[in-house]
Every structure is written in C-alpha cells, then in structure tokens.
Chains A and B, each alone.
Chain A
Amino acid sequence: DAGVTQSPTHLIKTRGQQVTLRCSPKSGHDTVSWYQQALGQGPQFIFQYYEEEERQRGNFPDRFSGHQFPNYSSELNVNALLLGDSALYLCASSLGQSSYNSPLLFGFGTRLTVT
C-alpha cells in the first residue's frame, strides 16, 4: 500500500479528447505534486498544489490543469490530448511544501495511452 491512491490505473484515450486523473494523498499530507514520466525518462514536474492553489508549475502548456479539494485530494486534467501525452502520470503527496521536511510519497501512477 503506497499510501497515495491514484485512479484509474490505466486509461486509453483518442487524440483531441480530454482526460481527468485523480489522486488521494496519504492521510495527514496536505500537498500534492504531479509528475509526467515518459518511457525511459525521469519524472517531469507538472505542478504542485497546496491549500487548494497551484503553487508552482513546470514547463507544461495550459492544456494541463489541476485542482485540489478541501480534503487535499487532487485532479489533473489534460485537454486536447496529443500522442505525446502518452505517459505514466504520477501523483506525490507530502506534508507542507518543502520536501526536505517531508519527502515525497508517490503513488503507483496512471498509465495514459493516447491513440
């Protein structure tokens, strides 16, 4: 049990469609970060949510958006899907925004395939 729950585990979408991925952080954690990991690459930071606001964003287009709910769970939305969006999407939770005091705890990810 990773403590961080992501759903769905696998997803297949068609180019141009929209997708929503969900993440429940570990109990007690209040910060959620999202990463995209293409095959053979390291995870790429998408954004971080804390207190229901996007606090930091990586180099991703506006097609990628997110939300954090009062219970700290989070959603990642991707619009107008491209073939290049096919990847493993990872959610990580922590307590507070500094990973020095609270190392990131990752879920098992959602495997998104765009055809």
Chain B
Amino acid sequence: LAKTTQPISMDSYEGQEVNITCSHNNIATNDYITWYQQFPSQGPRFIIQGYKTKVTNEVASLFIPADRKSSTLSLPRVSLSDTAVYYCLVGDADQAGTALIFGKGTTLSVSS
C-alpha cells in the first residue's frame, strides 16, 4: 500500500476553511483514500473516503486530482471542536483483509 505524507500540524481560527493535503505518490490503481479524525483518549472516527474526483458529505469534502498522487481534505468553517488529529490513509479496495496503516497524522488546532 502507498505510504502517505501529511503536515505534522496546522493552525486555524474558528469560521475558516481548513484544507489538509496528503501526498501518496505511489498509490496503486485499486487503492482508495480515507480520512479519520481522532480526539484525545478516543478511537479514530471515519470522516470520508474516495477513489477519484470529489466526494462530499455532511462534515467534509475530499478532493482527488486526476493523477491521484495527492488528496485534500477540506473542512468548511471549522469550530473549536474540530481541534483533533486527522489521519490520511490509503487502502486496497479490492483486497479483503488489508489492514489500514496509520501514520502520525496532522494535528489541527483551532483557536477563537
């Protein structure tokens, strides 16, 4: 599975849009991109996943360019409660039993 690279930390203010970019240069044809959010002393929580182009749900959007070598998680109008660690992961959509491998993630700090 492709290794991912994302910024260690980001700072933002309430009400701003936050974009976290993840690099996955060696992504394979069958790989998909998924993002998880984690608050202290809790397990990660699934945010969004996609294979190509743009995916949007009630909490975030995921932008994936045509070459799929990177992806951007977009959080609209963040609030203090969005302060958390965000993980970008690549998984194999076709192969059962392929474990998701977490990196160190991006620590997002939202201030008032």
A residues contacting B by CB (< 8 A) are 2, 4, 33, 35, 41-45, 48, 50, 55-56, 58, 88, 90-92, 96-100, 103-109, 111
Contacts and interface: CB of A to CB of B under 8 A. Distances in A.
Interface in B29-61: 32, 34, 36, 41-46, 49
B87 A2 contact: no
A99 B2 CA distance: 16
Interface stretch (B13-21, B62-70, B72-80, B95-103): B95-103
B96 A97 contact: yes
A2 B46 CA distance: 12
A108 B99 contact: no
B46 A50 contact: no
Is chain B's binding surface mostly helix, strand, loop or mixed?
A: loop
Interface residues of B, number: 26
Nearest to A47: B99
Given A106-B44, A109-B41, A109-B43, A100 B93 contact: yes
